[in-house]
Structure 1
Amino acid sequence: MGTVTDVWAWLTTAEHWTGDGGVLQRLGEHAWLTAVCLALSCAIALPLALWLGHVGRGGALAVNLSNAGRAIPTFAVLVLLTMSPLGRHGDWATIVALVLFALPPLLTNAYTGVRQADPEVVEAARGMGMTPWQLLRQVELPLAFPLIMTGVQTAAVQLVATATLAALPGGGGLGRLITAGFGNYDTPQVVSGALLVAVLAMLVERLLTLVERLLDPMRRRLAPVPNAA
């Protein structure tokens, strides 16, 4: 119980939250880094995966290569990039390492979602004379949207957890609280930092779940129309 009490005391101490290096600053840095990496990962993976899923060629190879990349530890990639010329340009080494880490679930889910779109619906849309772009945008993408968002949620949660590595080459984020705690032999600070990362990951997941419900095109199409008075 002593550790729990000490962690609670650390978290409820106002001076730990404000000022230079406080929780609020580190939380903002962590959220920014996660958002930037997620946006870049989506910009790279989703258009490629959606098109490969639509044409049905080369996607399986791309997904398998992406999944094989999961076997490479993100920490090892970060160390190599930090030692490269990229390491002299701020957070770019960390961003590149995290983007590479987030690509597999985005590629896999988006490609699988499009390939698993109801073939009867797809053929009916094609028979109506839809162009390939119209077919992808109006039929395959709405059908694949839930699986795509699952990939986005997975990537986002993984990024929140892994962004703690940014502290190792001197970057910001909640990982700085953990590394500082280890350096000072301050167990309550280490545990508090880990708890804050876990809470942030859960909040991000819930936020993206809400976004999925609000933006799901199939849910909006199937919403009941209120009766006229």
Structure 2
Amino acid sequence: MSLYSAIQFVTVSLLYREGSNLGDFQFLYIDLFLIIPIAVFMSWSKPYPKLCVKKSTANLISPKIIIPLLGSISIILAFQLGIYNYIKDSLAELPWYVAPTPGDDDAVKSTDNTLLFLYGNYQYILVALMLTVGPPYREPATSNHAFIITITTTTFMSTLLMFVNPDSGLGDLMDLTWASDWPKFVLVLAASVNYGILELGDKFLFLRVAKLYKRFFGKPGSKKKFKNLKREFKSLGTP
């Protein structure tokens, strides 16, 4: 949920820079058709059949949680900035490009809005897929059929939005503008690379950085009194 807020914050901030914003039904689509189903069904994974010796993190305000969160936000920000710069550098001179018009009642409709909205939809889905807890605490995400169906459906719906006619009722409702096929391919490609880097960071980088941070900057001992008492009794040889 933190990353969902971060993704939307970055998208809206970039559009605010142009005097624009996401449309009402774009917000509604993200909240109602993406976030709620994904958040509900990703928790349906059953517990792993074998108990793990090491328990999962109990403290949400810890380097093990905060550093991966900040790392993921940095990657999300970098890719959205990349898409934004791609729009400004490569598409702004094309005849079909629609620039944002600040102060206009129809200011929401623009190429910037359309492409950032379509790209953000993929980020919401892929971040949920990356963060779905699996072994050793829960069964693999592939065994959560409701979640897999949700991911497949939301990905299909978000891809389908790319091919909606902007002049149709749905296109007008979603405040979409026309774009050629190449930018849409760039969005899909960027989303795939974005997911790969998030997975690599989550599995091989973020936790190592968290361990290094704890090693060099962490305070000795624990904030939990029972852990400190247990360590004290152990040092005294008390059973």
**TM-score category (smaller protein):** 0.3 to 0.5
| TM-score between both structures, scaled by the size of structure 1 | 0.39
Relative to its length, the structure with more helix (as a share) is 1
Relative contact order, higher structure (CA 8 A, sep 6+): 2
Normalising by structure 2, report the TM-score: 0.38
